[in-house]
């Protein structure tokens, strides 16, 4: 009746793309670098927001709609600060948080119902003054040195 070989060939070609996020196909040009991705649902599900850092200097990313962040992956040694405000300014204590990569966070159980109106990513050294003097919770540190926490106040 129908030949299944063309269908299987197409399915075989598309199968590797089903799991190709975010470590594969990352942007890295002379202006920006893709550093990771955040998701509105736990376990890296939902419509992703890809995070970039500008190579000349960290820049506030304001062109995003307010998103809820429930899980995230930072794939390179970089720090991203997430702000409730739309202009990368600090809001109330405890509402702004950061990720220092590389790190995979399957479930932000400690920061439930957090939304992000803007974010800024950059090299760990450049972002140190932005996140403040913040000690990460021990349970958030991974074997690669990545962690997450609430942005500190100087």
List Cβ neighbours of 128 (8 Å cut-off, separation of 6 or more). 79
Residues 56-97: pLDDT tens digits?
999 999 978 777 888 899 999 999 999 988 999 988 777 888
CATH topology of domain 26-150: Gamma-B Crystallin; domain 1 (2.60.20)
- Separation between Cα atoms, residue 122 and residue 120, nearest integer Å: 7
- Separation between Cα atoms, residue 54 and residue 19, nearest integer Å: 26
Domain boundaries, the chain: 26-150
Residues 116-146: pLDDT tens digits?
889 999 998 888 888 876 655 555 566 666 7
Half-sphere exposure of 125 toward its Cβ, with a 13 Å CA cutoff?
1
């Amino acid at each position: 009746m129908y030949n299944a070989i063309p269908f299987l060939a197409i399915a075989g070609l598309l199968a590797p793309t089903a799991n190709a996020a975010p470590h594969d196909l990352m942007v890295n040009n002379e202006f920006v670098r893709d550093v990771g991705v955040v998701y509105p649902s736990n376990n890296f599900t939902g419509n992703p927001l890809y995070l970039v850092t500008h190579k000349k200097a960290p820049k506030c990313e304001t062109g995003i709609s307010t998103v809820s962040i429930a899980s995230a992956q930072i794939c390179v040694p970089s720090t991203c600060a997430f702000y409730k405000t739309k202009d990368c300014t600090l809001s109330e204590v405890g509402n702004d948080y950061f990720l220092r990569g590389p790190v995979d966070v399957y479930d932000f159980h400690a920061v439930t119902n957090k939304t992000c109106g803007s974010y800024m990513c950059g090299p760990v050294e450049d972002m140190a003054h932005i996140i403040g003097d913040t000690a990460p919770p021990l349970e958030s540190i991974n074997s690669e040195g990545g962690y997450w926490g609430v942005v500190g106040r100087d």
